[in-house]
Amino acid sequence: MRKIGVIYGSTTGTCESIANKIAKQLDISILDIINVTDITTERLNNYDVLLLGSSTWGDGELQDDWYDGINKLKAANLNGKYIGFFGCGDSYSYPDTFCDAIGLIYKEIADSGCNIIGKISTEGYDYSNSLAEIENELIGVALDDVNEDDMTDERIISWLELVKSQI
C-alpha cells in the first residue's frame, strides 16, 4: 500500500473540510492530513502519494500559507512520487481565475519527475479561464463549494476513483 499524505492550505476552512472528506474516503489516518503550515520537507519525503489542496485568493493567487509551502515542496524529492491536486474556488465570482492556485502549484513542480495523477475533464464546469486547465483538462479536481456544494461529494468520489486507479 502506498503511503498517502493529504496537504492543504485553507483560509476560511473550506479546503480543510474537503481535505478531511478526502482522507475519510481513503481511510487514511488523521496524522496524514496536514495543514501546509505544518509540513516539512522531511515529512513530505515520507509519502509516496501527495494530494495537494489549495483554495484560490486575491485575483488568482495562492492561499497564503502555500507561499512558504511551495518552497518546502520544491525542496522535497518528488522524483517518482504520485501527486494529485484538489482546488477550492468560486467559479461564479471569479470565472477568470477559477481554482488558479492548483495550477500555480503544478507549474512549480511539473518538472520534478513526479507523476501527476487525477487529471479530469472540464465537462460540467462553468468558468472562462483557469490556470488549473492545461491542454483542455483540469490538472486535478476543482471544487466550487460556494455555488455548487451539491456537486462537491460526487466530484470528490469520482476523482478519488481515478486517483486510486493511478497509484
Ligand X SMILES: Cc1cc2nc3c(=O)[nH]c(=O)nc-3n(C[C@H](O)[C@H](O)[C@H](O)COP(=O)(O)O)c2cc1C
C-alpha cell read off for 156: 470528490
Contact with ligand X (CB under 6 A) among 4, 6, 7, 15: 15
Smallest distance from ligand X to CB 61, Å: 7
Does 152 interact with ligand X (rule: CB under 6 A)?
no
C-alpha cell read off for 86: 484538489
Q: 133-134 and 137-138 as β-strands: parallel, antiparallel, unpaired?
A: antiparallel
Placement of cell 513530505 in the chain: 44
Smallest distance from ligand X to CB 79, Å: 29
C-alpha cell read off for 83: 501527486
Does 34 interact with ligand X (rule: CB under 6 A)?
no
Q: Which of 117, 86, 116 is nearest to 101 (CA)?
A: 86
Smallest distance from ligand X to CB 67, Å: 14
Does 98 interact with ligand X (rule: CB under 6 A)?
yes
What torsion do the CA atoms of 153, 147, 35, 132 make, to the nearest 10 degrees? 90
**DSSP assignment string, 127-140:** -S--TTEETTEESS
Smallest distance from ligand X to CB 45, Å: 26
Q: Any idea what DSSP says for residue 114?
A: P
Does 13 interact with ligand X (rule: CB under 6 A)?
yes
Contact with ligand X (CB under 6 A) among 47, 66, 82, 94: 94
What does the alpha-carbon distance between residue 23 and residue 4 come to, in Å, rounded to a whole number? 9
Does 145 interact with ligand X (rule: CB under 6 A)?
yes
When the beta carbons of 59 and 111 are compared against ligand X, the nearer one is 59
When the beta carbons of 42 and 153 are compared against ligand X, the nearer one is 153
Q: Which amino acid is at 123?
A: E
When the beta carbons of 73 and 102 are compared against ligand X, the nearer one is 102
Q: How far apart are the first and last CA of the chain?
A: 9
Does 14 interact with ligand X (rule: CB under 6 A)?
yes
The site for ligand X (CB under 6 A) is made up of: 10-16, 55-60, 63, 88-90, 94, 97-100, 145-146
